[in-house]
């Protein structure tokens, strides 16, 4: 920020608490007017449009190089090339058939879905405090890059075809971005492109999952009277943005899309009916959910819930394995999610079991996770003025553990995640079952150890490609060969390593939550048993101290114990050291199971990044290795920690504003106004 610009107003909330559009504006890449764009090795959209003037020989060489990248099939390498000013003239000239193949390789399965899954159990505030890249930033970067590539092609006079539009709709659906889907849909109609079945399905999906992966909205999918009321407003309050109910009904919108599709002579497949089913579930339309299952697959929900003898139930509609209506795991997940979010776990379990047996379908892991998480939500005690209505569908805690034991047993053998162990441990904590709590905590830590080992192996591959950067002499200036930065092997290694690194970060945060729960319970061993606070608590503090801050408190029979230390909850690094947090043996300094004290990856890469020239450190993909701001000598110098440690700053809520200064604000709107969803789409004549 230059001196001529006035400082931004102090924000009173974290970024995660802001309205949807403001969050995406903040995380959008800043507009660049230099010869290099935000990618470091690509130009701004304006300059890309004009490109460079090459002679025929130079253009032929550039085209040949671009084709080799396309043939390699590495998504990030293709993305970087399509955004690179050097390749801009070639991108404008490649035939549509070649461009479509390359464009389709920019898949959400690579750029979006792994991060979406890993971010799901993490609260946005935890991401913001740690300085990790928020999901909104990942979504916005991907969307912005796609828009720039489209701009380059259109600037050369090319029109997008059905394949390109379908891919863009697929990307919008994977991010739950209905405004993006509406703009793409309007552009399709304007360009005279006739949608196909896939286009209609992605369009419906984007609206049904609108804004359900980010912010507080990802926690607010359970259908209750309060939920229905909050989502019906034209201008919903923060935390309730996305799909609507009542006059804004997402079900009405999905039905309109489906009717337009059938008017065009296009018949629905499994995805189409799943979308209609989920749209009905979003607004609590139980009759619509039952009608869809009955129409498409002859599944009588009411009869299934009253009749346990399958021989008395009408046979399902048989579909050949190649039929587009043959059920897959998609339908199983929809049933688990739809009935689970509508407070009917019995129906969800019965239908998942019946459909899987009827069509000989294995039950995917994500279906089990959905069932268990929905059961956990419904097992929670409800409070407040709407307590009675919110208690609809409530199940006992034993229901949750029953699902857990079923999923880990034969024939399913699903391996639980750290998040599942955390949910089970929370239930044990509420029931004061110390043995169960510690059992779940031990299992969660074992998973963390395994993931850390996988991360270490992936990091070794990256280190080898970089020439073992951590063996350098302190202060030595380092460089990375251009051949390494542009190699497919390096891109693949960095991507695999980043996913595992984020997995470790996620699991570490969840372990810290478990440790905090362990410490906060003052009656583990009944009211009159002092063994916990006098013997066991001290051992647990020693054993799990790497997952606790230096400053903490806990309650005893005699009062509250307050320990003052260098760090506290809510800081960038809650540990007073920069080592990997490990479980330690009670009574000594050594780690259990022979674990070594190793410097955490974040600090290793920060030191390496500070040894690089900024022009290299900011290049894609090597900048993906640097999660911490460079040129900070200690983790206590991190802006988030400075803001949090300063009492006056914490009271004023400056933390969110510091992030604005770190990331930068895009002045232009990310999206245009979406068309009015209450009006029915008009079918082409």
Query: Does the residue 496 lie in any domain?
Result: yes
Element (H, E) at 614: helix 614-617
Query: Does the residue 387 lie in any domain?
Result: no
Query: Does the residue 489 lie in any domain?
Result: yes
E strand intervals along 364-406? none
pLDDT value of residue 648: 39
Average pLDDT over residues 248-259: 98
- Whether residue 538 is predicted with pLDDT greater than 60 in this model: the reply is yes
Query: Does the residue 49 lie in any domain?
Result: no
Higher pLDDT, 595 or 173: 173
pLDDT value of residue 475: 60
Cβ atoms 98, 70 nearer than 8 A = yes
At 114-134, the pLDDT tens digits run 999 999 999 999 999 998 999
Domain total in the chain? 1
Q: Mapping DSSP to helix (H, G, I), strand (E, B) and coil, where does residue 290 land? A: helix
At 390-420, the pLDDT tens digits run 888 999 999 999 999 999 999 999 999 999 9
- Whether residue 472 is predicted with pLDDT greater than 70 in this model: the reply is no
- Whether residue 12 is predicted with pLDDT greater than 70 in this model: the reply is no
Query: Does the residue 656 lie in any domain?
Result: no
Greatest mean pLDDT among 85-94, 259-268, 553-562 lies in 259-268
Higher pLDDT, 119 or 528: 119
At 425-441, the pLDDT tens digits run 999 999 999 999 999 99
- Residue 443 belongs to domain spanning: 436-631
At 282-340, the pLDDT tens digits run 999 999 999 999 999 999 999 999 998 888 999 999 999 999 999 999 999 999 999 99
pLDDT bucket at 590, cuts 50 / 70 / 90: low
pLDDT value of residue 667: 29
Which of these ranges, 17-21, 34-38, 582-586, has the smallest mean pLDDT?
34-38
Average pLDDT over residues 220-231: 95
At 343-358, the pLDDT tens digits run 999 999 999 999 999 9
pTM comes to 0.86
Cβ atoms 665, 22 nearer than 8 A = no
- Alpha-carbon span 494 to 513, nearest angstrom: 29
User: What is the sign of the dihedral through the CA atoms of 506, 508, 509 and 510?
Assistant: positive
Query: Does the residue 109 lie in any domain?
Result: no
Query: Does the residue 474 lie in any domain?
Result: yes
- Whether residue 455 is predicted with pLDDT greater than 80 in this model: the reply is yes
pLDDT bucket at 587, cuts 50 / 70 / 90: low
Greatest mean pLDDT among 113-122, 388-397, 545-554, 636-645 lies in 113-122
- Whether residue 680 is predicted with pLDDT greater than 60 in this model: the reply is no
DSSP class of residue 249?
A: B
pLDDT value of residue 384: 77
pLDDT bucket at 588, cuts 50 / 70 / 90: low
The two structure tokens encoding residue 531: 């063994």
Query: Does the residue 246 lie in any domain?
Result: no
Burial 487-521 (b: 16+ CB within 10 A, else e): beebbbbbbbbbbbbbbbbbbbbbbbbbbbbbbeb
At 69-103, the pLDDT tens digits run 999 999 999 999 999 999 999 999 999 999 999 99
**Residues above pLDDT 70, as percent of the chain:** 82
pLDDT value of residue 592: 66
Cβ neighbours for 138, distance < 8 A, ≥ 6 positions apart: 111, 112, 115
């Amino acid at each position: 920020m230059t001196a001529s610009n006035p400082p931004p107003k102090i924000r009173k909330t974290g970024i995660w608490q802001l309205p949807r559009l403001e969050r995406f504006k903040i995380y959008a890449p800043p507009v660049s007017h230099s010869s290099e764009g935000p990618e470091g090795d690509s130009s701004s959209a304006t300059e890309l449009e004009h490109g460079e003037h090459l002679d025929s020989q130079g253009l032929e060489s550039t085209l040949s190089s671009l084709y080799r990248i396309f043939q390699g099939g590495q998504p990030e390498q293709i993305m970087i090339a399509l955004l690179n000013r050097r390749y801009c003239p070639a991108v404008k000239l490649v035939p549509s058939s070649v461009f479509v193949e390359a464009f389709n390789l920019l898949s959400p399965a690579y750029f979006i879905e792994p991060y979406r899954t890993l971010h799901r159990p993490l609260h946005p505030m935890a991401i913001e405090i740690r300085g990790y890249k928020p999901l909104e930033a990942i979504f916005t970067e991907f969307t912005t890059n796609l828009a720039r590539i489209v701009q380059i092609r259109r600037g050369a006079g090319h029109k997008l075809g059905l394949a390109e539009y379908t891919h863009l709709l697929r990307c919008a659906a994977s991010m739950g971005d209905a405004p993006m889907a509406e703009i793409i849909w309007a552009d399709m109609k304007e360009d005279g492109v006739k949608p196909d079945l896939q286009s209609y399905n992605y369009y419906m999906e984007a609206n049904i999952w609108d804004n359900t992966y980010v912010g507080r909205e990802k926690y607010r999918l359970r259908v209750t009277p309060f939920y229905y009321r909050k989502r019906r407003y034209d201008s919903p309050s923060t935390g309730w943005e996305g799909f609507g109910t009542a006059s804004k009904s997402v079900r009405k919108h999905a039905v309109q899309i489906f009717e337009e599709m059938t008017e065009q002579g296009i018949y629905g497949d499994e995805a189409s009916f799943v979308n209609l089913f989920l749209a009905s579930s979003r607004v609590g339309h139980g009759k619509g959910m039952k009608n869809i299952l009955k129409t498409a697959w002859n599944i009588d929900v009411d009869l299934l819930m009253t009749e346990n003898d399958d021989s008395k139930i009408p046979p399902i509609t048989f579909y050949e394995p190649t039929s587009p209506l043959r059920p897959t795991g998609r339908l199983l997940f929809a049933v688990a999610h739809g009935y689970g979010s509508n407070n009917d776990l019995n129906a969800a379990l019965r239908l998942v079991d019946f459909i899987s047996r009827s069509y000989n379908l294995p039950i995917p892991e994500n279906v089990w996770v959905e069932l268990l998480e929905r059961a956990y939500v419904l097992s929670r005690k409800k409070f407040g003025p709407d307590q009675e209505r919110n208690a609809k569908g409530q199940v006992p805690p034993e229901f949750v553990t029953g699902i857990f034991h079923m999923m880990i047993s034969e024939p399913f053998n699903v391996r639980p995640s750290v998040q599942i162990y955390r949910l089970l441990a929370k239930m044990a904590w509420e029931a004061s079952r110390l043995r169960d709590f510690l059992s779940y905590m031990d299992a969660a830590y074992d998973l963390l150890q395994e993931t850390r080992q996988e991360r270490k192996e992936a990091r070794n591959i990256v280190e080898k490609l970089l020439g073992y950067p951590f063996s350098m002499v302190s202060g030595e200036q380092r460089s990375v060969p251009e051949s390494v930065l542009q190699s497919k092997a390096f891109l693949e290694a960095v991507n695999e390593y980043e996913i595992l690194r984020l997995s470790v970060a996620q699991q570490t945060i969840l372990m810290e939550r478990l440790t905090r729960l362990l410490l906060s319970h003052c009656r583990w061993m009944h009211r009159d048993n002092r063994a916990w606070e006098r013997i066991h608590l001290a051992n647990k503090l020693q054993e799990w101290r790497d997952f606790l801050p230096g400053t903490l408190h806990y309650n005893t029979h005699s009062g509250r114990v307050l320990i003052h230390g260098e760090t506290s909850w809510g800081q960038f690094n809650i540990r007073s050291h920069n080592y990997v947090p490990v479980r330690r043996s009670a009574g000594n300094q050594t780690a259990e199971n022979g674990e070594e004290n190793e410097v955490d990856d974040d600090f290793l890469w920060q030191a390496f990044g500070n040894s690089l020239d900024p022009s290299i450190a900011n290049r894609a993909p090597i900048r993906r290795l640097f999660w911490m701001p460079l040129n900070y000598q200690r983790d206590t110098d991190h802006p988030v920690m400075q803001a949090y440690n300063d009492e006056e700053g914490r009271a004023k809520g400056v933390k969110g504003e510091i992030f604005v200064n770190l990331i930068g604000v895009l002045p232009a709107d990310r999206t245009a106004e979406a068309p009015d969803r209450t009006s029915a789409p008009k079918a082409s004549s």
